[in-house]
A = this chain, B = another copy of it.
Amino acid sequence: MTGHPATQPDLGVLAARILMSVQRELFTALAEQGFDDIAPRAGAVLAHLRADGIRASELARASGQHKQVVGSLVDDLEHLGYVERRPDPADRRAKLVCPTERGLLQMAAAAAIMRSIEERHARALGEREYAAFKAALRSVAELPPESPHGTRPPGPGDGA
């Protein structure tokens, strides 16, 4: 990251700024809607929850966090009543992290807030431009880093 004011802020600085701003607004709005007991860091788990459950290790991969961190996050969310751990029928080692009723409500609320944030940006940029921006953002997020020699195809590798 190298955003000298002389230079334009670089990709990393911009990403960090957007992340901070989105996080702040999302969790402020969630708190106003009654979800005031979840720490922003729990977003790493909540953002990747699925109604039908997801494995902790997959959460770790998707969020880029270590599995110990995900474990403690899930602990917290479980105590708060947002998720519960259920055994994974397909693998007796694994446990599925499933949202509870309250978890589903939170997911819906967060999705609505994120929609409104993105709609605001879409209005500012123009619908078409924002759609193009979002698509480009996805591409950039999915482009594999560096690949010194034998690049693997950019296929569905990234689970999330």
Which residues of chain A have a CB within 8 Å of any CB of chain B? 1-26, 43, 46-51, 62, 64, 107, 110-111, 114, 117-118, 120-121, 124-125, 129-130, 132-134, 136-141, 143, 145-146, 160
Q: A4-B107, A11-B121 are in contact. List 11 more A-B contacts (CB 8 A).
A: A1-B47, A1-B114, A2-B47, A6-B50, A9-B138, A10-B114, A11-B134, A15-B22, A17-B64, A25-B145, A121-B139
Cα distance A16–B120 when bound, in Å? 20
Q: Is the Cβ of A18 less than 8 Å from the Cβ of B141? A: yes
A59 to chain B, nearest CB (A): 11
Q: Is the Cβ of B47 less than 8 Å from the Cβ of A141? A: no
A13 to chain B, nearest CB (A): 5
Residues in B with CB closer than 8 Å to A51 are 4
Q: Is the Cβ of B129 less than 8 Å from the Cβ of A9? A: no
Residues in B with CB closer than 8 Å to A46 are 1-2
Q: Is the Cβ of B64 less than 8 Å from the Cβ of A141? A: no
Known: A8-B138, A140-B133, A143-B124. A1 touches B18 (CB 8 A): no
Known: A19-B15, A64-B17. A125 touches B120 (CB 8 A): no
- A-B residue pairs in contact (CB < 8 Å), sample of 21: A1-B43, A1-B46, A1-B110, A2-B46, A2-B110, A2-B111, A3-B48, A3-B62, A8-B134, A8-B138, A10-B47, A11-B22, A11-B118, A15-B19, A15-B137, A18-B141, A19-B19, A21-B141, A120-B146, A121-B139, A124-B139
